[in-house]
Structure 1
Amino acid sequence: MDCPRSNSSTCSSGATVNLTCAEPLRLVGGASRCSGTVEVRVRGEWRRMGPSGVGDQQVAAAVCRDLDCGSAVYGEHRDGFPRIPVWEVRRDCVKTSPVRECVFGSRLSSSEGVGVVCSDSVRLVSGSGLCSGSVQIWDGSWTGVCDGDLDQRGAEVLCRELGCGAPSLLQGALSPLGQTFHCEGHESALMDCPRSNSRTCSSGATVNLTCSEPIRLVGGVSRCAGTAELRLRGEWRRMRPSGLWNHEATDAVCRDLDCGFAVYGKHSDNFPRIPVWWVVPDCVKKSPVRRCVYGTGRFSTPGGVDVLCSDFILNRPIISVSVSDGASELQPQGVRVQLGSKFRVKCSVEPQYPGGSFRLLSPAAPPAQNRTLPAVNHSAHFLFSDADHAHKGNYTCVYLLQVFNHNFSSQSHTLQLSVGESDSDLIIRVVVILLLKLLYILPMYYYYCKVRARGGAVERPQRRLRRVQT
């Protein structure tokens, strides 16, 4: 109203001017307006934002949102600035309100600040977290990437640009002939890729992308078991809790890994002393782990977290029988081995995890005496000699593996083993029995014929005598 005015008029309904002002917020000292150290202007004065502590990632998300700079790639605590008064900001407030509205103090002097990097020209919106959503790019305004405009290599570039892991789901038709982005995969940003065929998408026709969270479990026997590591600013570091690590925090790690639910999680100080990413356990219960990092991670520590998730599974072992002497025969019910032969039961499993052992459940010994052998090259061999009828019955292999003092097992199908003689032995046995029976019957038959012949010779003279008398 200090400006000179002219042409005063009354506006009809709906004909008023709409205005959007930039938030009194900026990032200074970075490579672009979307990266640098956070400064806020309050009461006409620009000041550095004070140390955010546990809210680095939440503040980064709020700053990128207020600056319309896409998605937050990371936020970090920084030190070494001149010690001057800074603006203090409530961390919980910035989740839903502009940063300027969350300033609550101005007396604090500090040499610390908050550094933020935003994705600048690309973002994922309306997703379940930082690494999923509908793809939008900045082209003077935020516009959706059309279905079919992004292929797998473009998705990999985009996920990397956002500080996320590899793409795990790309919803939308992949049409190389009609795509807009022609990425080779090595680009640092999606907008660095050659573009063509730019078009406006109809409602609901945008690409939806899900990138994996930048978290992993290493040193274990599967991707769902091991020591937790997190990638921030392109660097993988061990994850170190800043407070009490509990089951809910472990469950959050398994959630971000898409590994089911938590089975075991424990913090220990038995790791090499190296720089780590400090994580707030209470934060990870409700937010992606990446959002819960605070500090620069410059301090070395031996701390870390071992995690075991429910999607850690064992392959089903395979059971088979072979005979070293004698013969065996496959039958619909199982295997038949020759009586008195030596046979071997093999338990094996497809290569999946190192180590473990096999236990053979068999009728040849009471359950307490069932033998257990270590897995060598993912298999074990159980030897039996002089097969007899005590060896017949059901055999089962059980694969055993211990992870973080937790025992896991997987059981094979049941193999039925019978013990008997070979076909040639049976034929010989039948022939011998028949010969013995024949040798037994022939004397009796000879004696019978002889007796009968003698009886007939006595009967004939008596008949002649009766005829003479008659």
Structure 2
Amino acid sequence: LLSSADSVRLLGGTGLCSGRLEVNSDPSDPSWSSVCEADFDQQDAQVVCRQLGCGAPSVLQGALYGEREAPMGTKEFQCGGHESALLDCSSASERSTCSPGTAVSLTCSEPGGVQLVGGESRCAGELEVEHQGEWRPVYFNSLWTLKAAGVACRELDCGSAVSVGERSESPGRSVWRIRSDCVESGSPLRECAAAAHYSFFFLNLTCSDKLFQPNISVSSSMYGVSGPQQQGFQLLH
């Protein structure tokens, strides 16, 4: 099998964590292929960024870092967002070519040791922390208050914590336990990770960047300010 370093790469960006995505999905074939934008989503991007040792994905679009010469097409990957490598994801049949301008370019955040995965945006999802060179989910317990979770939101540049919850999964996985006294002292989360153990319960977190974004619209027939909406406040004039 190919190692992680051998199966995906980002080229043409500013460093290891950004560029045009290329995949080598066949260990017997030395050639690399692009991935079509229509066949790639946020969960796939989370896996690639994790595989490269980078932070959470921040920009995902076609041809941001240029196109490559043929072959343009590769498999459609169907990741859940928790896999450690893109080739661990299930994949659909081969795709022959991508339309011009639609080969995936990806920008991951620089390694920071904290990311949220599996949510609707980079500011929501299951909290994962990189400690001792390994990404693992964080064990959920009653010590995770909104105040404590706010540390993760700030490290992600995602504002403050809006909700903290538990997500269960069977079978369980190895997790990091975060020491609450360490978090309260202001230390980075990755420095507060204690010995790992096996659990079925993981911390799910939503930060404020996902909610309450201003949504301003104009109407000639209505005056006033409406109440809070799911995505923010709507101003009517």
Unmatched 5+ stretches in structure 2: 80-87, 167-177, 218-224
Query: Which amino acid in the other structure matches residue 25 of structure 1?
Result: V
Q: Give 2:105's aligned residue.
A: 115
Give the counterpart of 1:142 among 132, 135, 139: 135
2:181 aligned with 1:177: yes
Of Structure 1 and Structure 2, the greater helix share is in: 1
Q: How has the CA–CA distance of structure 1 residues 202 and 116 changed in structure 2, closer, same or farther, with 3 Å as cutoff?
A: same
**Shift in Å, 1:20:** 7.7
Give the alignment of 1:1-400 within 5 angstroms: 21-22=3-4, 24-31=7-14, 33-41=16-24, 43-50=29-36, 52=37, 55=38, 58-66=40-48, 68-69=50-51, 71-79=56-64, 81=66, 84-89=69-74, 93-96=76-79, 98=89, 103-106=94-97, 110=100, 113-119=103-109, 121-125=113-117, 129-130=120-121, 131-139=123-131, 140-146=133-139, 147=141, 148=143, 151-160=148-157, 166-171=160-165, 177-179=181-183, 182=186, 195-196=191-192, 198-200=194-196, 203=199, 206-212=202-208, 213=210, 216-219=213-216, 221-222=225-226, 224=228, 254=230, 257=231
Distance 1:181 1:198 in 2: 15
Residue identity over aligned pairs, in percent, reads 20
Count how many residue pairs are aligned between Structure 1 and Structure 2.
Answer: 195
Question: 1:181-240: per-residue Cα shift (whole Å, max 9, x none)?
Answer: 8259xxxxx65xxx3473335635654322242672333535746xxxxxxxxxxxxxxx
Q: Return the TM-score normalized by structure 2.
A: 0.56
> Match of 2:83?
none
Looking at structure 2, the residues matched to 116 and 80 of structure 1 have their Cα atoms a distance apart, in angstroms, of 9
Q: Which segments of structure 1 move beyond 6 Å, counting only runs of 4 or more? A: none
Letter in structure 1 aligned against 2:205:
L
TM-score (norm 1): 0.33
Would the alpha carbon gap of residues 20 and 135 (structure 1) be closer, same or farther in structure 2, given more than 3 Å must change?
farther
SS at match of 1:179: helix
Contact 1:41 1:100 in 2 (8 A): no
Structure exhibiting the larger radius of gyration computed from Cα positions: 1
Counterpart residue type for residue 116 of structure 1: L
Report the AA paired with residue 114 of structure 1: V
Contact kept? 2:34, 2:68, Cα under 8 Å: no
Q: Judging changes above 3 Å, is the alpha-carbon distance between structure 1 residues 77 and 196 closer, same or farther for their aligned structure 2 residues?
A: same
1:85 is aligned with what amino acid? A
Counterparts in 2 of 1:64 and 1:36: CA distance versus 1, 3 Å: farther
Q: Is the 8 A contact 1:73 1:117 kept in 2?
A: yes
TM-superposition CA deviations, 1:276-313 (whole Å, max 9, x none): xxxxxxxxxxxxxxxxxxxxxxxxxxxxxxxx6xxxxx
How far residue 38 of structure 1 moved from its aligned partner, in angstroms, is: 0.5
Q: Aligned-residue CA RMSD in angstroms?
A: 4.4
AA aligned opposite 1:143:
R
User: The residue matched to 1:203 in structure 2 has which SS?
Assistant: strand
Deviation at 1:168, TM superposition (A): 0.5
